[in-house]
A and B are shown apart, each in its own frame.
Chain A
Amino acid sequence: MKRSRFLPWLGFLLGAAYFLLPLIATVEFSMRIKREAYSFGAYANVLADPAFRQTFTYSATVALFTIVIGTVLVVPAAYFVRLKLPALRPFLEFITLLPLVIPPIILVFGYIRMFNSSSLLPLTSTAQGTNVLLTFGYVTLSLPYMYRAVDTGLRAIDVQTLTEAATILGAGTPTILMRVIFPNILIAVLSGAFLSFAIVIGEFVMASLLNRPAFGPYMQIIGTNKAYEPAALAIIAFIITWGSMGMIQLLARFAPKTTVHAD
């Protein structure tokens, strides 16, 4: 029986239109800064703004630390749970789901209560401490993505055999983790890292409530003060998101695809 392809095409095209039209409109809007002709003036203004560079660098730096700390926390935990403590697995999965249940605004509210200047760990009383707190907050936000990425990576390699082989050759646990396991799941870690980057770079509510000079709050300020620059910023942010997702897709091609043993 041959089915008509008209409706599927219509569904796809309507979907495509819904997602492309706002982008086209944003590009058009961002180029309206001069009355007489389209120009890239808004982009030039944004890129020339020192505050743009500072906040972007700040957020990119925080994102980098987030990725490093997230990797250091998640890789050993996921490795040992897979290898020796499978009983803990549902528990870890539950914990890494929590940041999707508890909205960031709630987390940061809890941070402000828990780490204020009169608490045991007064992180918010110094700028440096607040930077650390913001980074840890972002690590928390990225846990669901990081853990799933790493766990998928570990599933695709034979953790047991690799560990045994390395142990026979005389490697200790740190060596196994860093020189055997990590290189094998590097692609999975990187895809988690790019997703984390995409989430962290424009994050607004945590940075804003912790009063850090991040890219998200900067965009919000530009949004209330300028007309065409916000549209240019939206396009820049879209390109960053697209770039991160593109990297993940690209990396997926290099990832090992065979499952050695089923779970």
Chain B
Amino acid sequence: MSNDKDVAGLPGDAPARTSFRAGSGWRRGAANVLSAVTSASALGVAPFLLFALVFLILPTLRLVSDAFFDVQGNFTLQNFVLLAQPNIVGAYVVSIQISAASAAIGAFLGLLIALSVGRGGLPGWVRSTAMTFSGVASNFAGIPLAFAFLASLGRLGLLTLILRDVFGFDIYRAGFNLLSFWGLTLTYLYFQTPLMVLIIMPAIDGLRNEWREAAETLGASNWQFWRYIGLPILWPNILGTLALLFANSFGAIATAYALTGSYLNIVPVLLYAQIRGDVLHNANLGAALALGMIAITGLANIIYLIVRARAEKWLK
């Protein structure tokens, strides 16, 4: 269609030929893709795409569509109105707070550790040890992590007892509780911080020595280098990783559930209870709850992707 219009709209022979050539090039490209798609390569990719469609895309779309219908199957926005009830709003607020706190603190600590290990002039084994340990710790999540923190900072945990008996400081009397906002945040930091180290390290490696040398030649102090050169270059990466860490803890449930049961009202735990026993007494309200989660983690990941694309400009 567009090709015809091109030819008709152009006077003279040569431009028309150019346009024709461009058109045929496009057609040949399309034909190539088409013939490739109908050949063996399609057979190789098709099972993957079919699998992703049936076990990833469709189940998610099913929830998205369920959120817009009532139990009788009529279109409604009532489910989203019902999300405004206090315990659901409360769950979202606590979830967002925990995810934001653990992402921000984890990113800060992870950056400090990565800078110490990557650019502090420490021996090589320190770096490789830190990276190996980060790989393990960032994957040590879920139920065992909850057990480890109960054994450390629970009422009878080793650290609790040492602080009480050796240092005379009873953290529980001071108001600390592992089954609380700060308790869960502290626990999440165990996988958030190493994840930050893993993701930010390549960016730190991308800081060229020449930049530092140039800054020093011009008389910049260590502080000035980081304030005006190092951190501004790392900033997009830090921001992007922050979004990723946020999404990472927002969807996590196993640690929270093993640690606090349904004591702490966060969205994934509420959704778990809803799927198990329909505690909200409306199956499609559960779908709306899930859609809210997807929207939040999706937004965080979009921020990550956009910011990462910008960051890559600098660190080639």
Contact = CB atoms under 8 A, between A and B. Distances in A.
A9 B122 contact: yes
Interface in A1-52: 1, 3, 5, 7-12, 15-16, 18-19, 21-26, 28-30
A106 B148 contact: no
Interface stretch (A57-65, A152-160, A195-203): A195-203
Interface stretch (B7-15, B107-115, B234-242): B107-115
Main secondary structure of the interface of A (DSSP, over half): helix
A83 to B, nearest CB: 7
Interface stretch (B20-28, B71-79, B126-134): B126-134
A241 B66 contact: no
Main secondary structure of the interface of B (DSSP, over half): helix
Given A12-B130, A95-B52, A83 B152 contact: no
Contacts of A242: 136
A204 B39 CA distance: 41
B116 A7 contact: yes
Interface stretch (B56-64, B86-94, B169-177, B199-207): B56-64
A175 to B, nearest CB: 12
Contacts of B126: 12
Contacts of B143: 202, 204, 216, 219-220, 223, 237
A263 to B, nearest CB: 13
A88 interface: yes
Given A15-B113, A81-B45, A105-B251, A220 B257 contact: yes
Contacts of B49: 77, 95
A223 B258 contact: yes
- Quick one: which of A29, A107, A143, A248 has the most chain B CB within 10 A? A29
Contact of B247 (A9, A101, A230): A101
Contacts of A9: 116, 120, 122
Contacts of B121: 3, 5, 8
A1 B215 CA distance: 12
B100 to A, nearest CB: 17
Contacts of A202: 142-144
Contacts of A208: 272
Interface in A108-128: 108-114
B63 A113 contact: yes
B59 A11 contact: no
B222 interface: yes
B6 interface: no
Nearest to A99: B56
Interface residues of B, number: 87
B287 to A, nearest CB: 8
Report the interface size class on chain A: 35 or more
Contacts of A85: 33, 36-37, 41, 45
B59 A113 contact: yes
Contact of A76 (B44, B137, B253): B44
- Quick one: which of A10, A111, A234 has the most chain B CB within 10 A? A234
B31 to A, nearest CB: 14
B147 A223 contact: yes
A26 B48 contact: no
Contact of B48 (A10, A77, A114): A77
A143 B52 CA distance: 9
A243 to B, nearest CB: 10
B232 interface: no
B229 interface: no
Given A5-B120, A204-B253, A245-B139, A105 B268 contact: yes
B254 A216 contact: yes
Nearest to B146: A223
Nearest to A78: B48
Nearest to B137: A19
B188 interface: no
A192 interface: no
B40 interface: yes
A8 B117 CA distance: 7
A136 B51 CA distance: 9
Contact of B301 (A81, A97, A195, A249): A97
A168 interface: no
B55 A140 contact: yes
Given A209-B272, A219-B143, A231-B151, A24 B158 contact: yes
A103 B294 CA distance: 8
A5 B41 contact: no
Contacts of B62: 110, 113-114
19 contacts: A5-B120, A7-B120, A9-B116, A12-B122, A15-B113, A16-B133, A19-B133, A22-B159, A29-B151, A105-B293, A106-B294, A107-B59, A109-B275, A110-B59, A140-B56, A198-B139, A234-B144, A241-B136, A245-B139
Interface of A: 1, 3, 5, 7-12, 15-16, 18-19, 21-26, 28-30, 72-74, 76-77, 79-81, 83-85, 87-88, 92, 95, 97-114, 136-137, 139-140, 143, 173, 177, 195, 198-199, 202-205, 208-209, 216, 219-220, 223-224, 230-231, 233-234, 237-238, 241-242, 244-246, 248-249
Given A23-B148, A105-B275, A106-B251, 15 more contacts: A21-B159, A22-B190, A30-B151, A73-B47, A73-B51, A95-B49, A98-B57, A101-B247, A105-B253, A109-B275, A110-B60, A199-B139, A223-B147, A231-B151, A249-B135
